[in-house]
Amino acid sequence: FPSHDNVEEVIIYNYKTVAQMISYLYDENGHANAAHGKKDDCVMSLMLAWQGVLEKNRGLKTSDAKPYETFAF
């Protein structure tokens, strides 16, 4: 993972993760979820790892983290 704050691009080499990302849809409440019958475990793992990178780069401790912080790519 990059070790700087100005990340403009993330390259994902894992086909399964990309396939799961493509299957995401917005529901009637405006929430992004995996399509019916599809999985999202790889996507969720990626988001958790990415959040860890962002927090590490900002020098945050676990106790400083804000719950439900928005992910931006």
What's 7-61 look like in SS3? CCCCCCCCHHHHHHHHCEEECCCCCEEECCCCCCHHHHHHHHHHHHHHHHHCCCC
Confidence bin at 18 (pLDDT 50/70/90): very high
Show the tokens assigned to 10. 């993330």
- pLDDT tens digits for range 37-58: 999 999 999 988 888 877 777 7
- pLDDT at residue number 73: 47
Average pLDDT of the chain?
A: 77
Bridge partner residues of 65 (DSSP): none
